[in-house]
Chains A and B, each alone.
Chain A
Amino acid sequence: MSEEERTDDEGGVIKKFMYVNRRAPYGTVYALESLEVVLIGAAFDQDVSMVFIDDGVFEIKKGQDTAEIGMKNFSPTYRALEMYDVEKLYVSQESLAERGLTEDDLLVDVEVMPDSRIADLMDEQDVIFTF
């Protein structure tokens, strides 16, 4: 938990919300659902971060083109997160390496960090949603 309570201009409490994404896009609905929850949550002016670990790193792979599988390509939405003040995007270095990916493969600016650092960030949160 946060050590001290932060408040916004109107005295409302600002909590640290972390969304942990660990599923690949398209094969299941988790990735898309997570994105929708993040966008809804963004309306509440909280301190939001998104973490991409395990197969979740595939959500932000550059160059997705779903024309031939008949599904909506929702990857451009990750680039719009900035407009909703969701700017803290963290990616597991180990998860990228295990999948043969590098930071250059990703379609948004992120901070790549070791799992130990991500564990520390998780520890600091008030609320964690995992998809």
Chain B
Amino acid sequence: MSILHTVNKSSFEKSSLDSCLRYAKDGSTLLLYEDGVYAALKGAASEEKIKSAMQNHKVCALGPDLKARGFSQDRVIDGVSLIDYAGFVDLAAEAEKVQAWV
């Protein structure tokens, strides 16, 4: 089992996502939520970063946070799994520990 890394800050404003990706080991899971979900948008400056992260990590984003911000699944980079709150709980329970890059 490995670490669930959570990122809740906008990657356009803060370096949380970059720091997370610098330390996250291969096979660990990345969950984007709250303002962190903006990094998962197609066509955004963060797209290549997320695509590259998907080669070594499972990448998820919290659906309710995307919906709140006006984005449906078709605006999200292919391969990013959208999950709901129950899915968040499952990821946290399955992981050995959670590292929150707040």
Contact = CB atoms under 8 A, between A and B. Distances in A.
Contact of B68 (A71, A99, A100): A71
A68 B13 contact: no
Interface residues of B, number: 25
A111 B76 CA distance: 26
B91 interface: no
B69 A54 contact: no
Interface in B48-79: 63-65, 67-72, 75
B36 to A, nearest CB: 8
Contacts of A100: 41-45, 47, 75
Interface in B5-21: 8-10, 12-13
A98 B44 contact: yes
Contacts of B42: 100
A64 B38 contact: no
A65 interface: yes
Interface of A: 23-28, 54-55, 58, 61-69, 71, 73, 75, 98-100, 105
Interface of B: 8-10, 12-13, 34-35, 38, 41-45, 47, 63-65, 67-72, 75, 84
Closest 3 CB pairs of A and B: A100-B43, A27-B35, A68-B64
16 contacts: A24-B10, A24-B13, A26-B34, A27-B10, A27-B35, A55-B12, A58-B38, A58-B69, A58-B70, A64-B70, A65-B67, A67-B67, A69-B64, A98-B12, A100-B44, A100-B47
